[in-house]
Amino acid sequence: MELQSIKNRFEIVGNSPALNHALETAIKVAPTDMSVLITGESGVGKESFSKIIHSLSARKHGNFIAVNCGAIPEGTIDSELFGHEKGSFTGATDARKGYFESVNGGTIFLDEVGELPLGTQARLLRVLENGEFIKVGSSKVLKTNVRVVAATNRDLLERAAQGKFREDLYYRLATVPIRVPKLSERRDDINLLFRKFASNFAEKNHAPLLQLSQEAQEVLKRYDWPGNIRQLKNIAEQICVLEAEQQPVSAATLAMYLPASPSHLPLAFNGQDNLSAQGLSERDIFYKFLIDMKKDVSDLKRIVVGLVENSGNREEFIQNNKEDIQHVLYDEPYYNDHFEKPVIIPPTNVTPIMRNNVIDVQPLEDHEPERLTIADQELDMIKKALNRNKGKRNKAAKELGISERTLYRKIKQYNLDD
């Protein structure tokens, strides 16, 4: 079947080589009964590939069900997947069919398969090897004919090395592996996707089609999109609602909706358009950011010392060091689109203030620099996500890019239950 027709049918946008390769693999493996493992970051659209595989297979008239393994509590997941007998545990008032029994002859998509408990992994391995399973609370062996397509955003071999995932199950699932590329590997597709989401929103809500300025399109393309397609769609719909009167949307307006972090800066960094395109990892970029910031701190300290030592002739000192002062106060990377001029975020315990074209320096109160551990930052992110989503854990987990089970574990770890 022609690749473009598949894209049109399943509303897949983009022409990157990595995306096309993943689609071609899915098309080739679909007519077989082989197990497939789809890997890729959260939000890249792994479920769409499972639907393509099912729709192009001989099982297309059978049932298809998607199961989020990370969203089902550990105590009930065996019952959900394999069913249970009446009275097999507290609350089991009736016998129940599991997914593997009810989807017999069809396809089951196990998303976040890396979150399965080890006991459930052993049961799943038995189904994959000989199609047999036993209900919870029963001793009767049942047969099923189900094709399994699994997906994960975790490194399952790494988890296997940690004793958290069965290595034999990994190789049984990954008969045919498919890697879905993250959005930052498909930069030429980003604006196409944005236009698709904006067009869908306009059609659904009978609204005018939102347009981006050329500068805004460049910002969109350079951003790293840690949340991938899910994040892009979310931001596109936000802008369609909140910026409907602005046509086209400017780069400054778009930047307001892009969460900023050192490794996800949407704007040019020290005059270079895209350091990651030059083969630098996020860690390299972050180290470069810190080195450049340290240099700016040293320059600022030198200027402050000079102002203090030349307090009697401050204006002459400023004129003699005008170029250095201009660099420290107004050059990148400290940039804010909401102001006419870039604004410095002072990195030391002094605040330079411009009064009547003369720089004045005022010391702040002495304080210890904030030192946040990774755990502190993680706790802060979880608190903010829960607050933004009014305590709704499923929405907070989606925003954080983790499973609900992982979020529940973190909430318990940090005593946030109250």
* Helix ranges (DSSP H) in 206-281: 214-222, 228-242, 251-255
Residue 364 has pLDDT above 60, yes or no: no
pTM listed for this prediction: 0.63
- Phi, psi of 230, deg, nearest 5: -60, -45
List, in order, residues 6 or more apart from 374 with CB less than 8 Å away.
Answer: none
Q: Taking a C-beta distance cutoff of 8 angstroms, is the pair 123, 84 a contact?
A: no
Decide if pLDDT at 353 tops 50. no
Q: Which pLDDT belongs to residue 37?
A: 97
pLDDT of residue 367: 46
Per-residue pLDDT at 405: 80
Q: What is the DSSP letter of 64?
A: E
| pLDDT class of 51 with cuts at 50, 70, 90 | very high
Opening angle at CA 201, ends 200 and 203, nearest 5:
65
Query: Following DSSP, what letter does each residue of 138-193 receive, concatenated?
Result: ---EEE---EEEEEESS-HHHHHHTTSS-HHHHHHHTTEEEEPPPGGG-HHHHHHH
Lowest mean pLDDT of 54-63, 213-222, 347-356, name the range. 347-356
Q: How far is CA 91 from CA 76, 81, 96, 142, 247, in A?
A: 11, 17, 12, 23, 57
Alpha carbons 211 and 246: distance in angstroms, whole number:
9
CA 7 to chain centre: 23
72 HSE (CA, 13 A, CB side): 21
| 3-state SS, one letter per residue, for 114-141 | HHCCHHHHHHHHHHHHHCEEECECCCCE
Contact criterion met (CB below 8 Å) for 363 and 352: no
Task: Give the contacts of 102 (CB within 8 A, at least 6 positions apart).
Answer: 63, 65
Which tokens hold the place of 254? Answer: 């778009």
> C-alpha distances in angstroms, 296 versus 136, 176, 327, 362, 372?
64, 51, 9, 18, 22
Residues 321 and 323: their CA atoms lie apart, in Å, by 6
In the chain, the percentage of residues whose pLDDT exceeds 90 is: 53
Q: What is the mean pLDDT of the chain?
A: 81
Relative orientation angle of helices 228-242 and 187-205, to the nearest 10 degrees: 50
- Residues 271-318 pLDDT 10s: 444 444 444 445 455 545 555 665 666 667 677 766 666 666 767 766
Q: Which of 23-27, 91-95, 247-251, 261-265 has the highest mean pLDDT?
A: 23-27
Q: Which residue has the higher pLDDT, 411 or 300?
A: 411
CB 152 within 8 A of CB 114: yes
Structural domains of the chain ordered from first start: 3-181 (3.40.50.300), 184-267 (1.10.8.60), 282-348 (no CATH), 374-413 (1.10.10)
Q: Greater confidence, 46 or 87?
A: 46
> What pLDDT was estimated at residue 415?
83
